[in-house]
Amino acid sequence: MKHSDSVKELAAALAKAQGKMAGAKKDSANPAFNSRYADLASVVEAIKGPLAENGLSYVQMPVTNDKDEVGCETLLMHSSGEWIHAEPYYMPVAKANAHGFGSILTYARRYSLAAVCGIAPEDDDANAGVVDKPRQREVEPGPPRKMRAKDFQEHCAAISAATKMEPLQKAYTVAVLAARGIGDEDAVLAFQRKKDEAKEMIAVAHAAELASQP
């Protein structure tokens, strides 16, 4: 993070603005995770009034890198001339087309802006006055995408290379968590097949070892 030589007035204004900011409403659905989340419009709606009332504004700029990733830089500014610049928040793109880049850019903008302004999605349980209901772990929503071929092949190789059950289970768990983290269920099924194949090989090797013993 970078900032102007002084952020005294900006900090005071942001503190006042944050005191008036409500949580961003979870008014969008993510079918990949069967959950609801606060989209970019909800984040903007939650912050624009308090920011403007306290002489604050922001600018967001899209950026890319050589890894087929899209990022977003956010610049928070105060009427005094003070500013805070958030470094790029990069995310991988599943499909290198206009829709793919646009979807990831919106996602990156939402998280960068919410982080700079210090807001979070509304607490549904608190708003409903429910105190006995167990809190469910929030899964960060995002557009489902395919795992990169290089990462997929590395996970497959790690699963296939396991010669004992414990390393096999560890490699399989790491692979499945990585795939489910981006919503790639096809990769999950492929890892399951690789695990079953590796288990058969381990069983065969174990049987051969027992047979060779005197």
Contact between residue 128 and residue 86 where contact means Cβ atoms under 8 Å apart: no
Nearest partner of 20 among 124, 122, 119, judged by Cα:
119
Which H helix or E strand runs over 181?
A: helix 165-181
Nearest partner of 163 among 209, 117, 206, 202, judged by Cα:
202
Going by their DSSP bridges, the two strands 83-86 and 2-3 should be labelled as antiparallel
pLDDT of res. 140: 43
Which H helix or E strand runs over 78?
A: strand 69-78
* Reported pTM: 0.51
Domain boundaries, the chain: 2-128, 149-212
Question: pLDDT tens digits for the chain (214 residues)?
Answer: 789 999 999 999 999 998 888 755 555 444 433 444 457 788 888 888 999 999 999 998 888 887 778 888 999 999 999 999 988 877 777 666 677 677 778 878 888 888 888 876 644 333 333 334 444 444 444 444 688 888 899 999 999 998 888 888 888 888 888 888 777 888 888 998 888 888 888 887 777 666 666 6
The encoded tokens of residue 126 equal: 């608190």
Which H helix or E strand runs over 62?
A: strand 56-64
